[in-house]
Structure 1
């Protein structure tokens, strides 16, 4: 018995189950916290990789709007919901496209495909203001072109079926719509932060490969919950592109909700992940180190 007790004590000493928490986890030998991106990085404007990333965001958002708007129109057109993919199918179209497009573009642009995601990552200093603005512009242009191609192919059905534009549904207030957009975007951006966390990538080799899956699944789940409320925006570029091409009064009435809500949700997710979950000191992320 004495020998067994010694073995147990030795095992307990050799294989401790305790894991470092908070900022102490940043000292692991296999990981070092990357430095924050500069606020302005003029050198990016001379780099082809900068413009290549913007083009990737444009094409990805273009394809995203094209497929998803056609899916929404197909469901709206059918007199019987049982004859279509229904709300679940719409949710799968949005989530599936995000999964595929993030997988395709992650190595080029980071696979944002959403100004709210770009905004959240910018607040966390994952990219410069220069790149963030460029991404948002290209995402919005891609969304406009994607919706425009759908209207060009099917002009009459596009006008009759609403063009995939986001509006607050009857029976819900603007506050309901704003709350749905804030929480829905929080879920998405928080998932993006968790799935692409460099510290997890260093510890778990499978994380980079699987990152697009939880992001796409988060989009799917949020759509299931909020399609009946707002049609689910959580992506200002998607909402803007559909509104510009559909261009009806009611499509513009609630447009502010689909910008303010996602940006608030993205900001909350960035703060929660960086300060609470990762416990990164605020001063290390300040834009003006001399003032901290």
Structure 2
């Protein structure tokens, strides 16, 4: 048989599959409790979520104060960063914090992202639970700092809490949270896909950028509806510190919606785009 001339010349031989999918994470992951790297990752999630809530909620409060029409400042409605600036604050902070913490904890900073990765078998159940607790505690502390530093304006301007806007039904708010979280979690899966990373070596470096942009774009679309949750820790932390009835009345929307959206995104990416269901069926048939 004649040899391929390029192979004979020492050219690298490429196969159809030039990447390796990591094995699924263990379901419980009890062994992780004995590792310092696990607790370091939990601490990283706590600090990252604290910083995220402090910067973003402070931006929201500052904008509402600067644009308050009751102030004597002329053209108060045009002052401040505006809704576009708020969206940039959320998206920009996610970009920064994912970049900083991705190598330590994966840079979730969001229980919905953690839940989606759990559904996709990227993290264990124990890691997911610890992350979610750390994220919620970090969010509470982050908003607590905002209240402490801006006490005069915090309660007056709503505490940065997520609430369903007037004129929108609960179903509309729930749908907005589902779709918005789907966009975010789908972007997370796509940006960290090992198949893409193997073929485009620059993707791991740029992964935080599309994730931050996804948060930015979703905020542009859903701030007028729900104030944009897509992150149960963000909504929960603000509600705990603000502690008014309206924030708690709609709180379920900011948990149910993101978790449903995250689960759908994980299933879509893993079992449709990556053909996980077909691969599992093929493996079952070959074993049989």
TM-score (norm 1): 0.87
3-state DSSP of counterpart to 1:35? coil
Query: 1:282 deviation in Å?
Result: 6.8
What residue is the counterpart of 1:62 in the other structure? 50
1:35 has 2:35 as partner: no
Unpaired runs of 5+ residues, structure 2, are 1-5, 7-14, 69-75, 282-287
Aligned residue pairs total 261
Q: Separation in 1 of the partners of 2:279 and 2:246?
A: 44
Unpaired runs of 5+ residues, structure 1, are 1-13, 15-26, 286-291
Q: Separation in 2 of the partners of 1:195 and 1:250?
A: 36
- Alignment partner for residue 52 of structure 1, among 22, 40, 43? 40
What residue is the counterpart of 1:202 in the other structure? 198
Q: Separation in 1 of the partners of 2:138 and 2:177?
A: 21
Query: 1:30 deviation in Å?
Result: 2.4
Q: Separation in 2 of the partners of 1:164 and 1:284?
A: 45
3-state DSSP of counterpart to 2:173? helix
3-state DSSP of counterpart to 2:100? helix
Q: Separation in 2 of the partners of 1:195 and 1:81?
A: 38
Q: Is the 8 A contact 1:75 1:81 kept in 2?
A: no
What residue is the counterpart of 2:230 in the other structure? 234
Alignment of 1:128-277 (within 5 A): 128-277=124-273
3-state DSSP of counterpart to 1:222? helix
3-state DSSP of counterpart to 2:276? coil
Gap change, CA 1:152 and 1:277, over 3 Å in 2: same
Alignment of 1:92-107 (within 5 A): 92-107=88-103
3-state DSSP of counterpart to 1:160? coil
Q: Separation in 1 of the partners of 2:26 and 2:77?
A: 50
Q: Separation in 2 of the partners of 1:40 and 1:84?
A: 47
CA RMSD of aligned residues (A): 1.6
- Alignment partner for residue 86 of structure 1, among 77, 82, 86? 82
Q: Separation in 2 of the partners of 1:283 and 1:114?
A: 30
Q: Is the 8 A contact 1:192 1:215 kept in 2?
A: yes
Q: Separation in 1 of the partners of 2:56 and 2:278?
A: 38
3-state DSSP of counterpart to 1:263? helix
Gap change, CA 1:282 and 1:153, over 3 Å in 2: farther
Q: Separation in 1 of the partners of 2:177 and 2:149?
A: 30
Q: Separation in 2 of the partners of 1:282 and 1:130?
A: 28
Q: Separation in 2 of the partners of 1:123 and 1:282?
A: 17
Query: 1:34 deviation in Å?
Result: 1.5
Gap change, CA 1:173 and 1:153, over 3 Å in 2: same
Q: Separation in 2 of the partners of 1:32 and 1:211?
A: 18
